[in-house]
């Protein structure tokens, strides 16, 4: 077991990483979901649907339980380079950023689509 493995299993370290993620989450989500290189929320939803995640997207847009998407699945859709660049910019481990995005993207789509559709221009 390496030093990082020991740290990663330490509850205090995990809590600190969680707080770090929470502190930069709004900025990261704004960058990923904004109109920057990903094209906005609508473009990300379209990419997810084209990549075979239409069932997940449909659950996020509709009422009821949001189906999950894994960090690896989302990273493949967004692109490894994009996720690595964001992680480096905000000084967050890539794996943690991927987990945060996988947890928060369904919520963001759900919140942006109260009537089951994304607003025009999102």
pLDDT at 7: 36
Please determine, for residue 11, whether its predicted confidence score (pLDDT) is greater than 60.
no
Burial of residue 117 (number of CB atoms within 10 Å: 0-12, 13-18, 19+): exposed
d(CA 59, CA 3): 40
Domain residue spans of the chain: 3-112
pLDDT at 67: 95
pLDDT at 28: 65
Using one digit for the tens of pLDDT, what is the confidence trace for 21-48?
555 566 666 666 654 555 677 888 899 9
d(CA 48, CA 96): 20
pLDDT more than 90, % of the chain: 20
What pTM value is reported for the model?
0.70
d(CA 111, CA 24): 19
Find out if CATH 3.40.50.300 is the number for domain 3-112: no
d(CA 18, CA 119): 31
């Amino acid at each position: 077991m390496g030093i990082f493995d020991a740290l990663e299993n330490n509850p205090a370290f995990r809590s600190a990483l969680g707080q770090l993620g929470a502190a930069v989450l709004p900025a990261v989500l704004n960058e990923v979901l904004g109109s920057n290189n990903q094209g906005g929320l609508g473009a990300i939803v379209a990419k997810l649907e084209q990549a075979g995640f239409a069932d997940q997207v449909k659950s996020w847009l509709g009422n009821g339980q949001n189906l999950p998407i894994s960090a690896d699945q989302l990273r493949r859709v967004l692109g490894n380079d994009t996720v690595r660049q964001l992680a480096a910019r905000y000084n967050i481990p890539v794996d943690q950023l991927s987990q945060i995005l996988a947890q928060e993207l369904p919520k963001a789509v759900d919140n942006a689509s109260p009537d089951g559709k994304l607003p025009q221009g999102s």
